[in-house]
Amino acid sequence: MNISWLLEYNPIFLAFMATLFTWGITALGASLVFFFKTINRRVLNLMLGFAAGVMIAASYWSLLAPAIEMEKDSQYPWLPAVTGFLAGGAFILLIDKILPHLHSRLSIDKSEGIKTSWDRSILLVLAITLHNIPEGLAIGVAFGALTNNPDLGVLSGAVVLAIGIGLQNFPEGTAVSVPLRREGLSRRKAFFYGQLSGMVEPLAGVLGAYLVVTITPLLPYALSFAAGAMIFVVVEELIPESQSGGETDLSTIGVMIGFALMMLLDVALG
């Protein structure tokens, strides 16, 4: 598939369009609430494990590896990757401590972040919104890299990353809307809140692309930052959520499939 014509467009615009796509896939996953009031826990664990596998693979193949490659001739080629990676994890840790949110497997008294009187449905939405911040940033930074290097390989890598994140957004949309329906919300409200959790991706994507376009030396740090943020989310949120109920085998299979698929896409198309 020839995508070279995309190089004619501004990287910030491309980042915006790509994150609109991933937001749309979140909405598609949330739309399952119109067909199901509940979803089998084993199926959901498999889907969430798949999402974790995609994010792990994307963190290396689409973010860390290019960041390291960019600095291979510098005196300290490891510096941007290490510092950016750790800074990304620290950033999400800070948000995790501040942003009120709740995981679907827990009771409302186990909500995290600043304590509020917000109801359970809002806290559930904010938990997935937290996941989507680094995903949007990653896509934005990947497309922003075209400013320095308007190459077909860089473009292909960014497109593959957007496709991969889009794929794993499907179960995340479902993981919001179906529990909300189970909480008693109408199908329409559950869908609305489910897709709303993906709205942050275009915002984060445009911000990430803008920063890289305007401050070009930031690129390897920004790529690594997005990778660290995504790995933090995977280890802190997605993997534990995918193993609720003790169904660890299915979630692990999902991780393997997600990682392999993202690796295949990146190597074959990137």
What is residue 63's predicted lDDT score, i.e. its pLDDT? 92
Do you know the residue count of the chain?
A: 270
How many C-beta atoms lie closer than 10 Å to residue 262's C-beta? 28
Distance CA 92, CA 233 (A): 8
Q: What is the residue-wise DSSP string for 61-118?
A: IIIIHHHHHHTTTSS-TTHHHHHHHHHHHHHHHHHHHHS-B--TTS-GGG-BSS----
Task: Choose among 117, 43, 202: nearest CA to 51.
Answer: 43
Give the model's pLDDT for residue 1: 61
Distance between CA atoms of residues 207 and 58, nearest Å: 19
What per-residue confidence (pLDDT) applies to 104?
A: 66
Task: Compute the distance between CA of residue 146 and CA of residue 12 in angstroms, rounded to an integer.
Answer: 10
Q: Minimal CA–CA distance to 165: which of 237, 265, 256?
A: 265
Model-level pTM?
0.89
Q: Low-confidence residues of the chain, pLDDT below 70?
A: 1, 104-107, 270
pLDDT in tens, 40-77: 888 889 998 999 999 999 999 999 999 999 888 888 88
Q: What is the pLDDT of residues 194-208, one digit of tens each?
A: 898 899 999 999 999
Q: Rounded distance, CA 195 to CA 180, Å?
A: 12
d(CA 206, CA 209): 5
For residue 23, the surrounding DSSP H or E stretch is helix 11-30
Most distant pair of Cα atoms in the chain: their distance: 58
DSSP symbol at 38: S
